[in-house]
Amino acid sequence: MKLGGRICDCATPNLGSSEVHELRAVGARQSLAVVLRISQVVARMLPTLLAVAFGLLQGIRHAMEPDHLAAVSTLVAEQRSARASVGYAALWGLGHALMLLAVGGAFFLLRTRMPPAMEDAFELGVAIMLVGLGLRGMYLAGRPPPPAHTHGHGPSIGGRLRPLFIGIVHGLAGSGALGALVLAKATSAMAGLAFLAVYGAGAALGMALLAGVAGVPLARLVRSPRGMPALLAVTGLLCVGLGLGWGYPLVARWL
């Protein structure tokens, strides 16, 4: 190699076969040490990861219960886009999760269960709410649509927060049973509260995913002149029927 007219001999050290094997052995030992360290960390975290996964999946399953689907469907039926449907479902999930964590967590920390009469009262509140939402949906279905040239100002603050309030009512109704379950299974206060939080997050995620998937075809349906009234009428009727069926055994128990 020529540098400034001079020839520079850059000698490269030649390693013997024993030195090469030694370097390879050192690299293999270092790689094995890293793998073992990662395996130890994963082994320590595995119970926690499994508990988080279980809570998340149980929360997603919980979101698919009929009273939740019926209530949220009456709200989603009014939305003209999948994004709005997801937003409403996420607000429901937020209210639901807050109540599960607040009320269920309070009973868990107090190491007691919600009185049966209080559980029945909250469940009856859910039934009354379902009937009210269903009647509202059927009323909106029968109301004549506004003229095409009019432009609304969007929902009021109360209308935007309606899914949050509905989620709060659902969370109150489910907090007693969930708190009792966590009380029986949780090994510590931190673990119990963490499970309640993950469970609530799973329910919110499940409802938002469902609303997102269903929101695309529903948004196309409600853009037709008769699509939204038909959807509101069907969801409203189902909601009323479910509310009556939900509340009748509770009222009969008190009579």
15 band by pLDDT with thresholds 50, 70 and 90:
low
Sequence length of the chain is 255
Is residue 188 classed as helix, strand or coil in its secondary structure? Answer: coil
pLDDT of 16 strictly over 70: no
Report pTM: 0.73
150 band by pLDDT with thresholds 50, 70 and 90:
very low
pLDDT at 192 (0 to 100): 83
Name the residue with higher pLDDT: 254 or 199: 199
130 band by pLDDT with thresholds 50, 70 and 90:
very high
Mean pLDDT of the chain: 78
Instruction: Give one word for 210, left, alpha or beta, with left for phi > 0 and alpha for psi -120 to 50.
Output: alpha
Per-residue buried b or exposed e for 140-163, using 16+ beta carbons within 10 Å of the residue's own CB: bbeeeeeeeeeeeeeeeeeeeebb
Per mean pLDDT, which range of 22-26, 65-69, 172-176, 213-217 is the poorest?
22-26
d(CA 131, CA 135): 6
The mean pLDDT value for 73-86 works out to 78
**Domain limits of the chain?**
47-144+157-254
Per mean pLDDT, which range of 120-124, 155-159, 217-221, 247-251 is the poorest?
155-159
d(CA 130, CA 124): 10
25 band by pLDDT with thresholds 50, 70 and 90:
low
Give CA 15 to chain center in angstroms.
60
How is residue 172 written in tokens?
């109150």
What residues have CB less than 8 Å from 59, skipping those under 6 apart? 198, 199, 200, 201, 202, 203, 204, 205, 206
